Structures are given as structure tokens and as C-alpha cells.
A and B are shown apart, each in its own frame.
Chain A
Amino acid sequence: MSLAATPSVLDTLGSIDWPEIATAGGDTLLMLGGSLLFTALLGLPLGIALYLFDRDRLVSSPRLYALLSFVVNVLRSLPFVILLIVLIPFTLLVTGTSLGVAGAIPPLVVGATPFLARLVESALRGVDRGIVEAGLAMGASTRQIVWQGLLPEALPGLVSALTVTAITLVGYTAMSGVIGGGGLGDLAIRFGYQRFQTEVMVVTVVLLLVLVQLLQMLGDWLVTRVSHR
């Protein structure tokens, strides 16, 4: 029986449209890279702002904190699938298309930025208050304390935050198939689920798993590199 099974697996693998999978894999990586870049560019400052505006922190502005916190909570409470659809007009405005990689990136960024911001806020809160106190006592400005004290001290936490965000974004990219975003997740749904091509489903899931695993390993390795505790 095993003799017969072996060519059948090869046949199955041979029947898969590999160029299609390669394109989808490339799209996933593009969506991930593009959205992670913009998420970091927006999420880091937002997280820093949340930290600074919190009561008894460096800038301490409870009103601003409440406002930012509310916006973040609203965006985080929307299921990503809903966000994808609600944001279509916004996406059109920004990229000119709501389809493909370019169409997927704006909702991915809007979905992941509040998530990353909370993780950044939490990483900064993990830094000993004594660091801020030492900086203030030396006559440092808020900007100097953030850049030269808080961010270097929080770096391992920030790298972890970016890792978790990247992996969350991999999951989100799979959903962006709903608005025609493309990528591996989209492929898994269209071929594996809707056309009953289980082998395509299996291959894409394995590829996504490998991607997540690689991201986590890279993140963990970076954390040990930047950690000196």
C-alpha cells in the first residue's frame, strides 16, 4: 500500500499551482513588511504618548491620556474583518485602490497600530521609575529622557512588542482576502476551503506556520541580543 501511496503524494504536490503559491507568499511578505513598517512608525509614537500623558508620568495630562486611550480602545474593540470593510473609503483615499497588497496595508496598519501602541506603553511602564528620576535630576529634558533613557531601557520589551505585532499582522493578512487583499491566507480560503483543494490549504497553512515560527525566533534572538539585565 505504501508503494502506491508515495506516487499519489507526489502527484498531489505536483498538481498544486506552485507559481500561484509563490505569488501569494510574496504578497503576504509585502503586506507584512509594509504594514509592519507603518505600524511601527505610528504605533511607537502613539505608545510613547500614552506613556507620557498618563497620570504621574513625565508630561502627565489625564485629559489627553483619556482621549488617546479612548481612540485606541475603539479601534481595538472593532473586529478586524469589520475594520477591513469600514475602512474601504479611507483606503481608496490613501492608496487609490482597495484591492491587492496596496489596498490591504491601510486597514492592517489601522488595525495593528493601537495594538502595538498598548504594547509599547506597557514596555515603557516596565522601565524603573528611577531611570526617569535620575534623568530629571541630571537636568535632562523630556525628549532626552525618552531617547537616551526610556527607549534604550525598554528596548527588549519593544522588540518583543514588534514581534507579537508582526505575528498578529500575519493573522490579519489572512483575513484581508475578504476585501481581495491576496496573500497566502486568501489562497487558503479561496482554493482550500471554497474549492475543496485540501492540499493547497495544507501547504499555505504550513507556510504561514513557518513564517510565524521564523518571526518568533528572530524576535527572541534579537531580544537576547539587546538585553543586558
Chain B
Amino acid sequence: MVSNTGPVVASVLLLPVIELQDLHKTYAVDGRRVPALQGVDLKIESGEVFGIIGASGAGKSTLLRVINLLERPDSGRVVVAGQDLQALDAAGLRAARQKIAMIFQHFNLLSSRTVAQNVAWPLRIAGWDAARIAPRVAALLARVGLSDQADKYPAQLSGGQKQRVGIARALALDPQVLLCDEATSALDPETTRSILDLLAELNDELKLSIVLITHEMDVVRRVCDRVAVLEGGRIVEQGPVAQVFLHPRSGTAKRFVLAAEHVDEGEQRDDYAHVAGSLWRLTFFGERTYEPLLGEVARHANLDFGILAGRIDRIKKQPYGQLTIAVSGGDRGAARQLLAERGIQVEELRA
């Protein structure tokens, strides 16, 4: 298996690294049946960063734990790296789990062990001898920038450092997949950014497939390639992050996007009520974001516009802009056509 030739490896890379089929899971809580997953299908490609976003209780934690069978689904199939995990015996599952790493919201480090010993744990579990463990641990700690903390205990570290230990530990056995369970939810915004940057680097360097669950759209926007929106144990929307973030279709996705932009929908509607003219939302993406197109279009179509709301930021590394403008006078049809020709998406919020 290890000695696959080039073309075979290439074809393996095209296959989804994780394939979940029609997953159902119901918990019994105080005699009541609480459904956590109600028919989830998901394919995650090798080398992508996939986000699963949902409110608490939407089933995202269960869904993540099904991928390494910490939770067994009532029905459905779980295939990771071509292996049907539910068909494996106990030893086979343990071996498979060594290639599916996981990091946690509360880090789950051994408080009784030093940083180096924590990172060594998966290696001990896999039966490595001490002579091989030491250099491996040193390399892992160097990668996450904690070489000088090797002999400290977790209690002596900051939250961000603890998560770096968690990441070093997760990488110990060269996993194919990294599962992130709300990995930045216990961290402050700046630390969150540095941890997300580290995850993005690892995804890039190691071609590591990453699945992360979060309740923050901002986390998805920063690192994910694709995202699925989970609600009531079902995937209500999924697609490339730019698509879901800029043009959310489901109510849940819209709420998450608005929350990420700190916009109160009701307030916004009231604010726009007394604005004259049509309301358009323009979406710029990529290099277009920085081009001076609005003035040009306004001159050509001879119309006036006022900017009501706007945001220019990045989705992963791609710049984007989204402007809500009020338009009056002139030839609006020509303006829309011109904008479309320049690759700018126009949505009419109010005619």
C-alpha cells in the first residue's frame, strides 16, 4: 500500500478523503429521542480545508466525531482514506485513528505531563521507541514555535500555546486528516488568527486535509475552501466559501454571515426605509475589488449613487468587496450591464 507508484497516488488524490453517506444518529436524553444527525451526506476532498458551521445543537460536534467514530452513527457509511471505518475491528480502527488527528476546544492536554511528553503521547501509543521519539518531538515543537517550552507543563502556557501543543501532538503521526473541534472558540481574536494562520500553513505545506467545526463565520472565511451549513442535523447549504459567504441562500447561512459582519438585519431595514432610489448589492471578487469601477459606471450611465454599507476583506487569500448602494436617475439597465461586463455581481435588494 505504501509503495504505490506515481499515477496511482495521483488518482487517489482525486478521490474524496472523507465520504459520509446518509448518516443518522439519535440520542436518548431522559427517555426522549433527540435526533443529532438526520441524513447527512458529505464528501471532503483531499487537501482541502472544509468548514462545518452551525449553531450549538445543530449536530456539528456529532458530525465531526463520526469521522473518527468517536460517535457511531445509527446508520450510514463512514469512509476515510478509502477505508470503511465501521467495517474495521478494534485494532484496525485504532490504526485508522492514528491517521485521523484531532484538536479540541479545551486542548485536552495531559496536565501531569510536560509539553514534550504530551507531543510524544501519540508516538508512544503507536509503539515508537524513545530514540525515535525525541527527535520527532523536537521537530514538531519547532514547527509550531514552541521549542523553548518543551519542559514546561500545560498549566504554565497561554491558551494559544496550549493549542499549538495540541496541533504538534496531532501532527505527530503524519495524519491525512485533521479534525478541529471548535479549536479557536476558547481563544481571543488575535490568538485565533495566529492559530488559523498556522492551520492554513500546515494545509499548504503538508497537503493536510482539515475539517473544522465552528459557530463563527469569520473562522470559515479565513481558512476554509468549502463550507457546509448544518441545521437540525441536516446540511442546509454547502459550497465554496465565497459563494456561501457572499450569496447565502439558507436562513441559517444568512444569519451567520450577518453575525460575522455585526449587522442587525432589522435595524438595517429600518435605516434603508427612508433612502430614495433602488437598492443594489454589488459583489467584487479578486483583483476587481481594487479597481475604480463605480465612478466610471456612474458617469457612463449618468446616474447618482450613495454608499449605504460596505466591506472589503479577504476570503482565505482572495480579496472581495461587497457594497450596498442606493441608485437614482440615469440608465440603470445600462449600468447593470456594464457592471456585469466587468465581472461584478449585482443583486437588486429593492427596485
Task: Name A residues whose Cβ lies closer than 8 Å to a Cβ of B.
Answer: 128, 130-131, 133-141, 144, 148-149, 152-153, 155, 226, 228-229
A91 to B121, CA, bound (A): 44
Distance of A182 from chain B, by nearest CB (Å): 40
Contact B70 A228, beta carbon cutoff 8 Å? no
Q: Of A140, A153, A229, which contacts B125 at CB under 8 A?
A: A140
Segment of B92-100, B259-267, B271-279, B311-319 engaged in the interface with chain A: B92-100
Verify if B111 is at the interface (C-beta below 8 Å from A): yes
| Given A138-B125, A229-B155; A131-B95 close (CB under 8 Å) | no
B interface residues, tally (CB under 8 Å): 31
Contact A136 B111, beta carbon cutoff 8 Å? no
Which residues of B lie under 8 Å from residue A229 when comparing CB positions?
111, 155
Contact B95 A139, beta carbon cutoff 8 Å? yes
| Given A141-B94, A229-B155; A153-B106 close (CB under 8 Å) | no
**Other than the known A130-B104, A152-B112, A153-B110, what 10 A-B pairs have Cβ atoms closer than 8 Å?**
A128-B106, A128-B108, A135-B125, A137-B97, A138-B97, A138-B98, A139-B94, A140-B94, A148-B121, A228-B111
Verify if B305 is at the interface (C-beta below 8 Å from A): no
Q: Of A134, A141, A226, which contacts B104 at CB under 8 A?
A: A134
| Given A149-B110, A229-B111; A138-B122 close (CB under 8 Å) | yes
Q: List 24 A-B contacts (CB under 8 A).
A: A130-B104, A131-B108, A131-B110, A133-B70, A133-B104, A134-B108, A135-B121, A135-B125, A137-B68, A137-B97, A137-B102, A138-B102, A138-B121, A139-B93, A139-B94, A139-B96, A139-B97, A140-B125, A144-B124, A144-B125, A148-B125, A149-B121, A153-B110, A155-B112
| Given A133-B104, A137-B70, A139-B125; A228-B97 close (CB under 8 Å) | no
Q: Which residue of A lies closest to B122 (CB)?
A: A138
Contact A136 B70, beta carbon cutoff 8 Å? yes
Contact B97 A153, beta carbon cutoff 8 Å? no
Chain B contact surface mostly: mixed
A140 to B68, CA, bound (A): 13
Q: Which residue of A lies closest to B104 (CB)?
A: A130
Task: Name B residues whose Cβ lies closer than 8 Å to a Cβ of A.
Answer: 68, 70, 93-98, 100-102, 104, 106-113, 121-122, 124-126, 153-155, 169, 173, 179
A35 to B244, CA, bound (A): 67
Which residues of B lie under 8 Å from residue A131 when comparing CB positions?
108, 110
A138 to B125, CA, bound (A): 8
Q: What 9 A-B pairs are tightest by C-beta distance, nearest first?
A: A130-B108, A139-B97, A134-B108, A139-B98, A139-B94, A137-B102, A228-B153, A152-B112, A138-B122
Distance of A132 from chain B, by nearest CB (Å): 9
Distance of B161 from chain A, by nearest CB (Å): 15
Distance of A122 from chain B, by nearest CB (Å): 18
Q: Which of A135, A138, A155 has the largest count of B CB atoms less than 10 A from its CB?
A: A138
A75 to B67, CA, bound (A): 44
